[in-house]
Chain A
Amino acid sequence: MIVDAHTHMPGHALSLISGYDSSQFLELLDQNKIDKAWVFTLDGLYFDPSLHNDVLQEYCAADPDRLIPFCTVHPRYPNVVEELRRCILILGMKGVKLHPWAQAFSPLESIMDPLGEEMESLGVPVMFHDGTPPYSSPLQIAYFALKHPRLKIILGHAGLHDLWKEALFAAELCKNIFLVPSGTPPYGLKRIISQISVERILFGTDAGFGDPYWQPFQLNKILSLGLPANEIELILGGNAERILADR
């Protein structure tokens, strides 16, 4: 079972590929032998989040067993808790994606409190973009993780190139932090895996946002780690499945 725990529905905003409807997105997964994908919006990070949550829900309805939608909400919007509840309880979306850098908020702001509490009570995981200052450094997200210890928090890039070591420190500090090493240097990933349990590492690629080659590229990075088969299985899909099943 391979789950790509970090993909985006191609959109107008910043997307490097275009014209991918649901069936073409599923074909991309087939080509790379990927069974399921956690799918996030791109356009909803920049434009009307409610509208784009609906658009994403419809996109994933083409094959709900394989395309798992995560909603986004803007922490500054007054209806943030209401929109979160609508997405999870009415639309049936499975998690939340937040991008502090694109959505222009710091994970340390008090506006994050009601959102964190509601996500904890709904029991849904939240994926943060991370690795880019000023608002998306791993330890800024660790602050939010310390405030909400029951919440499963996933760093979508495990620090990217410059902050992979900070992502490692964040994961050591907070047991409720999980890492998707998309954008993490191979050297940094080896260090991370030598220091934290593979049960907290999830395969993810950022496919849909960028180059169609991202999936084979990221798969190669995981497979070339030379880990035992059972650990590879956890990273490639087991951990992602467990996180959603735990709810």
Chain B
Amino acid sequence: MSFIVDCHCHVGVGHDYQQTVEKQISEMDTFGIDRAVICPVDRFIAVDNREGNDYVLKIAQIHPNRFYAFATANPWYGEKALSELRRAFDQGARGIKLHPSLQGFLLCDDLVYPIIELAGEKKVPIYFHTGTPAFAQPMQLVELALRFPQVKMIMGHMGSTDFWLDAVPSAQLATNIYVDTSWSLPDKVHRAIKGLGIDRVLFSSDSPLSSYSVEMGCRNATILSEEEQNRVMGKNILRLLGEE
């Protein structure tokens, strides 16, 4: 069995989600997930960024062998957003999560450039939610990725749902774009691997909105060689995190 790292899920108690760390660890153990990249939930993404970041950073500090924390900051906070992210990096954050539709900005707006530049300076990946019109579309990520070719960006959920047709052809335009598997059935993952190469496809659950049960069901039905399995399910995100 390969070493499994979930490259995107949410932990915290917010307006919609009630995902405590105990519940998260228990679900990971049930489904054989070794490690996970965690980011804050709903309202802590939109506002109260510091509170949400502290929550996931603390979890990663207590369980360094299970979790990597991605911090978020709403770009509309401007300079305050940058200082919050710098603070989070000092506390051990390993990447940035941005959610254009929840945070209310056009994905490729120049508003977000300072955050992208910070990611470049820290050499960390950025996970972008994509798939929600009008602000979170794959081609908007391409525009940004071409502008900042040194920064690695993950096209969250491969544009699911509305932009599934755009995901692979758009990601082919910028080699610094990676895609993750949550919400994608086997066929779509096969197409992504064929179109983008095995190193640019990363396993994720998007728990607790999706669930480990359905996401692992999909991945177990995806036909991959053992080496391909190892890369998609863990090695690729570990490489982006500088862990190997």
Contacts and interface: CB of A to CB of B under 8 A. Distances in A.
Given A188-B209, A224-B214, A217 B131 contact: no
A183 B161 contact: yes
A203 B162 CA distance: 21
Contact of B214 (A133, A161, A188, A221): A221
B211 A187 contact: yes
A213 B210 contact: no
Given A162-B132, A211-B188, A217 B209 contact: no
Contact of B221 (A183, A191, A210, A213): A213
Q: What band does the interface of chain A fall in when counting residues whose beta carbon is under 8 Å from B? A: 20 to 34
B209 A220 contact: no
Contacts of B92: none
A46 B18 CA distance: 42
Interface in B138-166: 157, 160-162
A160 interface: yes
A214 B218 CA distance: 9
Interface in A183-197: 183, 185-188, 191
A216 B161 contact: no
A89 interface: no
A10 interface: no
A82 B158 CA distance: 42
A132 B186 contact: no
Interface in B1-37: 16-17
B185 A211 contact: yes
Given A161-B183, A162-B132, A220-B217, A187 B161 contact: no
B83 interface: no
Given A160-B161, A216-B217, A186 B211 contact: yes
A243 interface: no
B209 A187 contact: yes
A217 B187 contact: no
Residue of A183, A187, A213 contacting most chain B CB atoms (<10 Å): A187
B211 A217 contact: no
